[in-house]
Every structure is written in C-alpha cells, then in structure tokens.
C-alpha cells in the first residue's frame, strides 16, 4: 500500500485538483479517500503498474463524482469570514441596529392608536386584512389604507 501511494499519489493529486477547482486541501482529501478505497479492495488492484494506475484513476474519478454529488445534495458551506463581509458585520452594524430600533420605537409611539392596533393585528398577530377588519369593525379597505399610511410613517421615522 505504501508503494502504491508513493508511485501514484502525486499524479492523483494533480488529477483531482481539477475536480476541486484548484482547492488543494479538498484534492488531498479525495486522494486519501481514493487510497482508502484501494486499501479496502487491495485484492482488486491489478498487478501490472500501468493497469494499476488506470484502476486508481478510475477509483479517484468515482470518489470525486461522489464528493460532488454529496455537496450538491446539501446546502453549501459558507465561511464565517465571508458572511461577516457579505452582511457588513462589524462594530458599526451594532450601532446602526440600535439606532434603527430606537427610531422604529419612536415612530411606532408617534402613530395613532388605530394605526398601532392595525399594525399589531397584521404584523404581530399575523392576521389577514379581512380578519383584522372583522375584529376592529371597519371595512377591509380602511384596514389596508391605514396599514399603508402607518408603514409609510414608520419608514420615514427609521430613515
């Protein structure tokens, strides 16, 4: 098994790097999996070196295809550093969030009691416009209109 690894691991690594878009660590993992499969089926490895190489490359290709299929079957992995950069995480976002929440609270307090009630029914309680209209005893159009103007007022307060 050691001789098999010494003779073919460099070529396998080069070959499998193409399957991993140049990611050397992933290619090394695939070489390791290829060697494990070869070890498990050592009796199937051809005796001639040329056939041995072909057999290993076939196993490596199958390992790479299995890996690609596994990755497609589950959500992609995301590096935490990438998510921080993508969402602008950092010291300034906490301050911005606090300011936005405070503005939203002040804006909500500035609404009329009916506007607050309608927004609460629709967005906190999760009721439909029809259910809200029925509970408050007003037409559906009035609920929609008041919700529109209340949201417009809140957007202005937060901006």
Considering only the top CATH level, what class is 91-158? Answer: mainly alpha
Model pLDDT for residues 68-100, shown as the tens digit of each residue: 888 777 655 555 554 455 555 555 567 777 887
**Average pLDDT estimate for 25-44:** 89
* More confident site: 105 or 96: 105
* Predicted local confidence at residue 147, as pLDDT: 92
pTM of the model: 0.45
Confidence of residue 142 (pLDDT cuts 50, 70, 90): very high
What is the average pLDDT score of the chain?
84
Instruction: Tell me which residue has tokens 């417009």.
Output: 152
Q: Where are the domains of the chain?
A: 2-73, 91-158
**Domain spanning 2-73 has what CATH number?**
1.10.1740
Distance CA 105, CA 28 (A): 54
């Amino acid at each position: 098994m050691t001789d098999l690894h010494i003779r073919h691991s460099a070529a396998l690594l080069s070959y499998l790097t193409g399957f991993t878009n140049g990611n050397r660590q992933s290619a090394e993992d695939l070489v390791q999996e290829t060697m494990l499969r070869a070890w498990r089926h050592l009796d199937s490895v051809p005796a001639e070196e040329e056939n041995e190489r072909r057999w290993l490359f076939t196993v490596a290709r199958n390992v790479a295809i299995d890996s690609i299929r596994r990755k497609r079957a589950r959500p992609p992995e995301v590096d935490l550093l990438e998510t921080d950069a993508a969402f602008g995480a950092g010291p300034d976002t906490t301050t911005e969030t606090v300011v936005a929440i405070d503005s939203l609270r002040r804006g909500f307090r500035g609404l009329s009691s009916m506007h607050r009630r309608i927004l609460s029914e629709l967005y906190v309680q999760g009721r439909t416009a029809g259910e809200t209209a029925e509970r408050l005893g007003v037409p559906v159009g009035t609920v929609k209109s008041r919700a529109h103007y209340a949201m417009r007022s809140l957007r202005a307060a937060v901006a």
